[in-house]
Structure 1
Amino acid sequence: MRLGFIINTCEPFYRGGYETRTWEFARALAARGHDVTLFTSCPQAQTIDGVHFEPLVPPRRYFNRRGVRNLYADVLFAAAVLKLSRWDGEFDVIDACATPFIHLFPLAHVCRMRRWPFVATCHEALQADIDSYIAERGVTGGLFSRIYARLLRGIYRAAQRQPGHLLAVSHATARGLAQEGWGVVPVVEFGLREMPDTMPSKPDHARTQLINVGRHTPIKRLDVVLHALALVQTRTEAFHLHLVGSGAMESAWRQLAADLGLSAHVTFHSTLSDAERDKRLDEADLFLLGSVREGFSIATIEAMAHGCAVIAASAPPPARPNAVLDYLHDGGNSWIADGRAESFAEQILAAIQDRSRLRVRQHAAFVTAQSYRLKDKVTQLESFYRTIALAKV
C-alpha cells in the first residue's frame, strides 16, 4: 500500500509519545514492503529506515517555555498541509495525528480533492477535558475563559468531523469518543519493537529505586510526585527517584526538588541514550506516573517490560479516564492514587514497606507488557488500512 502519515512533530527529530508511535509504525510498515511517506517538520527530504520524510515546514518549537502549545507554529503547519494538493503521487490511505486538530481542515480539503481516504488517529477524547485543558494553559474563570472554552469545543468538534475515519490509540480514548457521539471507533494500541523474553533480575537496593521517563511539561504533573516524596521523606529516606527527560518545566522542578529538601533523593537525567535509559529501567523498582490525562503512555509500557511495577493516578469525573487504567490494575500490577500528593505518598509508602508484594506486582507488570508487541499491533494497523483502501475501489 501507498501510505502517507501527517504529523507536526515526529521521531527521530522530536521525542514524545505520539512522535514515537507514528515513527515506529511507519518504519515497521516500510519493513513489510509498503511505500511509506511521512510529512512533518524536518530539515530536508530524506529516507530513514525505508520511510520517506518530506518537510512540510522546517523544524521549530511547538511548545513555549511554559510547556504550552505554540499556536503560531500549529497554524503554520496547518497552512503547509495544503502543499499536498500538488503532491506528485497517490496514496491508498492518509493517516494524520489528530492533534493539534486545526490542520485537519486543510487536510480534509486536500483529501477530498485528491480522493485519498483520510484517517485521523485520535490520542484523546478532549471534549470533557476542555476546561482543565485551558486551565493548564493559565486561562481560568471569567467571561474570557467561558468564551475560550466554547470556541475550543467548537473547533474540536468541527475538526473531528473532517476525516472519513477515526482511529483511537486506546480503549479509553475510544470510549471517550463514543460518549462524545462519534460512534464505535476502532482501536489499535501501540507495541514495543524490542521486548525482553525474561524479566530482568532486579538488584536488591537498600533504597527503593523510583523512576519516571517523559517530557517535563505541566501535564506530566511531576510537581505532584515531588510533593508526594516530600511527605514520604518524613516517614522513610529509603528511596531515590530518577527523572529521565527534559522540557519546559525541568528548571522549575529542579528548584522545587531543592526547596522540598529532596536534592539527595532525586537525580535529573536530561540526556540519556536509549541504552542508558534501559539500564536505569532494569535497575528501577517502581515507575511513577503523575499525569492523569494519558492517551496511552508508551513510557509506562516500556517500564513494565523492564519489570517495573507502576504507581499511577486517576482523575475524578467529568475528566476522561486515564488511558493507562486500560492495562494497569490496582492490586495487580500497580498501585493507583487519586491524583493528590497525599494519595501518591500513601501508595509509594505501601510499595516501599512491603518488598515481597512489590516483587509480585513487578512480575505482573512484566507479564502485562508481553501483550504489547509491535509486530502484533502493526498487523492490526495493516488490516485496518487495507480495509479502508479496498473500500475506495
Structure 2
Amino acid sequence: MDICFVSNVIYPFITGGAEKRIHEIGTRLADEGHDITIYGRHFWDGPAETTHEGMTLRAVAPEAELYEDDRRSITEAIDFAARALPPLRRRLSDDEHDLAIASVFPYFPVLSTKLASLGTSTPVVTTWHEVWGDYWEEYLGLLAPGGKLVEQLTAKTPQHPIAVSGITADNLADIGPNREHIEVVPNGLDTEQVQTAPRPDTGYDIVFAGRLIEHKNVDILLEAFDAVADRHDVTLGIIGDGPERDRLDTKRESLEHADRVSMLGFLEEYEDVLGHMRAADIFASPSTREGFGITFVEAMAADCTVIAADHPDSAADEVIDGAGFLVDPTVDSLTETLDDVLGGDRPATDPVERAQQYDWDAVADQAETVYQRAIDGSW
C-alpha cells in the first residue's frame, strides 16, 4: 500500500495523541514495506521533504502557532487546509497514493483532503478521536453553533470513518455516517516503554495525569484525596497544566492535607509521566469526557489500579473493562472507592494483561486490515 496521512502536526516535532498515533502506526506499516507519506506543517529542521523513521515527511505549509488563548486556532486550521489542497490534489490526481487518511481535528483538513480526492480513485479515511457535540458550548461559548456546524459538515462528508472507541463511533453515528459503516481501531501504546520507564526519585501513592481543564474534575480528586488522607498515610501527584491550574492551586492550598499534594505541572519527557505511573499504586481520573482515555491504558500497563468516572461521555468503562474501578464523578463516590483500594481491593481483571491488548503492534495490525479494506472497496 502507498498511504498518505494529512495532519498539520507531526510527531515527534509536536507531541500529542493524534500525531503520535499516526507515527506509531505509520512507522510499523513502513517496516512492513508499505510506503508512508505525511503531509503537514514544516515543524522540523531541514528541507521541506525529508525521511524520518522510514516515512516521507512532506511540508505543505510553514510552521505556525497552533493555539490562540488556550484554544486551537481556527485561522491556522483553515490556512493549513488551504495550503494542503493544491499539492494533495496534484499527487492524488497522479495516483501517487492508494489511500489518504485525514486527521479529523481541526476538521478543515478533512474537507480539503476530500476535495483533493474528487475525480480520483483514492479513498479517504478519517480518524475520529472524539465527537464534541454539546461540548462546543463550553469550548467556544457564543461561537459554539459554528463549531457544531463544521463538525457536522465534516461527519456528513463522504468518507471511510474510523473511531478510536465504541462510544466515539456511537456519537459519530448520531451526526453522520451509519454506525455499521464506522470501524473501531483503538489508540495504543508501547507497553515495553511503559514497563521500563525509570521511576522518579520522589514518587506518589496516587497520581493524575492530564490537561487541567474543567471536565477532568481534578477538584473532585483533590477533595476526595483530602478525605482519605485522614485515614491513610498517602500522597498525591497532579501531572499536567492548563487553564484550571491557578484555581486548582488555590484549591490545593485550602486542603487540610495540602502538604501531601504536589502540583507537578507539565512534564516535558513522556517517560517521566510513565515513571510516575510505575511508582504509584493508584491512577485516579474522574474525567467525564474521554473519547478514548490513553492515560488509563498507560496506567494499567504500569500496573496501577485505575479509578475512572462512569459517565456517558467517557469511554473509560470500555477501555478498562474490569481492570479498574468506575465511580460516579462525585467526591463521595471517589472517596469511597479510594478508601476501598487503599484498604486492599483489587480489580477483577489484571490491568497489565488488559493493557497488552492496546499495544501499538496489535493496533497497527488492525489498522492495516481496515486500510486494505478501504482500498479494496470491501468497507
User: What TM-score, normalized to structure 2?
Assistant: 0.85
Deviations 1:15-40 (A, max 9, x none): 22222212211111111111111122
Paired residues of 1:307 and 1:362 also in contact (CA < 8 A): no
Paired residues of 1:310 and 1:335 also in contact (CA < 8 A): yes
The residue aligned with 2:3 is 3
Question: In the superposition, relative to structure 1, how do residues 197 and 107 fare at CA in structure 2: closer, same or farther (>3 Å)?
Answer: closer
Provide the C-alpha distance between the structure 1 equivalents of 2:377 and 2:221, rounded to a whole number of angstroms: 48
The residue aligned with 2:56 is 52
Provide the C-alpha distance between the structure 2 equivalents of 1:63 and 1:227, rounded to a whole number of angstroms: 31
The residue aligned with 2:275 is 279
Paired residues of 1:4 and 1:39 also in contact (CA < 8 A): yes
Q: Structure 1 residues 237-246 or 373-382, which shifts more?
A: 237-246
Output aligned runs, 1:193-272, within 5 Å.
193-195=190-192, 209-233=205-229, 235-236=230-231, 238-260=233-255, 262-272=258-268
Deviations 1:140-196 (A, max 9, x none): xxxxx4xx4444333222211224211111122122223445211111112323348
Provide the C-alpha distance between the structure 2 equivalents of 1:322 and 1:74, rounded to a whole number of angstroms: 26
Counterpart of 1:59 in structure 2: which amino acid?
E
Question: In the superposition, relative to structure 1, how do residues 3 and 267 fare at CA in structure 2: closer, same or farther (>3 Å)?
Answer: same
Counterpart of 1:80 in structure 2: which amino acid?
R
Q: Does 1:155 align with 2:159?
A: no
Deviations 1:192-230 (A, max 9, x none): 233489999x9xx9x971112333444434333234334
Question: In the superposition, relative to structure 1, how do residues 59 and 209 fare at CA in structure 2: closer, same or farther (>3 Å)?
Answer: farther
Question: In the superposition, relative to structure 1, how do residues 365 and 77 fare at CA in structure 2: closer, same or farther (>3 Å)?
Answer: same
Alpha-carbon RMSD: 3.0
Provide the C-alpha distance between the structure 2 equivalents of 1:248 and 1:50, rounded to a whole number of angstroms: 37
The residue aligned with 2:327 is 337
Provide the C-alpha distance between the structure 2 equivalents of 1:162 and 1:18, rounded to a whole number of angstroms: 20
Q: SS at 1:95's partner residue?
A: strand
Provide the C-alpha distance between the structure 2 equivalents of 1:136 and 1:339, rounded to a whole number of angstroms: 20
Q: SS at 1:103's partner residue?
A: helix
Question: In the superposition, relative to structure 1, how do residues 197 and 25 fare at CA in structure 2: closer, same or farther (>3 Å)?
Answer: closer
Question: In the superposition, relative to structure 1, how do residues 23 and 350 fare at CA in structure 2: closer, same or farther (>3 Å)?
Answer: same
From 312, 317, 320, the equivalent of 1:328 is 320
Identity %: 25
Can you give the 5+ residue segments of structure 1 that lack an aligned partner in the other structure? Answer: 140-144
Provide the C-alpha distance between the structure 2 equivalents of 1:253 and 1:52, rounded to a whole number of angstroms: 43
Provide the C-alpha distance between the structure 1 equivalents of 2:247 and 2:9, rounded to a whole number of angstroms: 25
The residue aligned with 1:122 is 128
Query: Residue 260 of structure 1: CA displacement?
Result: 3.8
Query: Residue 302 of structure 1: CA displacement?
Result: 1.2
Provide the C-alpha distance between the structure 2 equivalents of 1:220 and 1:57, rounded to a whole number of angstroms: 33
The residue aligned with 1:12 is 12
Output aligned runs, 1:60-75, within 5 Å.
60-65=64-69, 67-75=70-78
User: How many equivalent pairs are there?
Assistant: 365
Q: SS at 1:96's partner residue?
A: strand
Query: Residue 255 of structure 1: CA displacement?
Result: 4.3
Paired residues of 2:301 and 2:352 also in contact (CA < 8 A): yes
The residue aligned with 1:348 is 338
Counterpart of 2:370 in structure 1: which amino acid?
F
Question: In the superposition, relative to structure 1, how do residues 364 and 11 fare at CA in structure 2: closer, same or farther (>3 Å)?
Answer: same
Q: SS at 1:80's partner residue?
A: helix
The runs of 4+ residues in structure 1 deviating greater than 6 Å are 196-200
Provide the C-alpha distance between the structure 1 equivalents of 2:79 and 2:271, rounded to a whole number of angstroms: 36
Counterpart of 2:338 in structure 1: which amino acid?
I
Counterpart of 1:215 in structure 2: which amino acid?
R
Provide the C-alpha distance between the structure 2 equivalents of 1:14 and 1:246, rounded to a whole number of angstroms: 17
Provide the C-alpha distance between the structure 2 equivalents of 1:108 and 1:385, rounded to a whole number of angstroms: 16
Can you give the 5+ residue segments of structure 2 that lack an aligned partner in the other structure? Answer: none
Deviations 1:318-351 (A, max 9, x none): xx4311211324xx42222222334333322232
Paired residues of 1:246 and 1:271 also in contact (CA < 8 A): no
Paired residues of 2:195 and 2:301 also in contact (CA < 8 A): no
Q: Does 1:378 align with 2:364?
A: yes
Q: Structure 1 residues 89-98 or 208-217, which shifts more?
A: 208-217
Provide the C-alpha distance between the structure 2 equivalents of 1:69 and 1:196, rounded to a whole number of angstroms: 30
Paired residues of 2:293 and 2:319 also in contact (CA < 8 A): no
Paired residues of 2:324 and 2:349 also in contact (CA < 8 A): no
Provide the C-alpha distance between the structure 2 equivalents of 1:17 and 1:246, rounded to a whole number of angstroms: 16
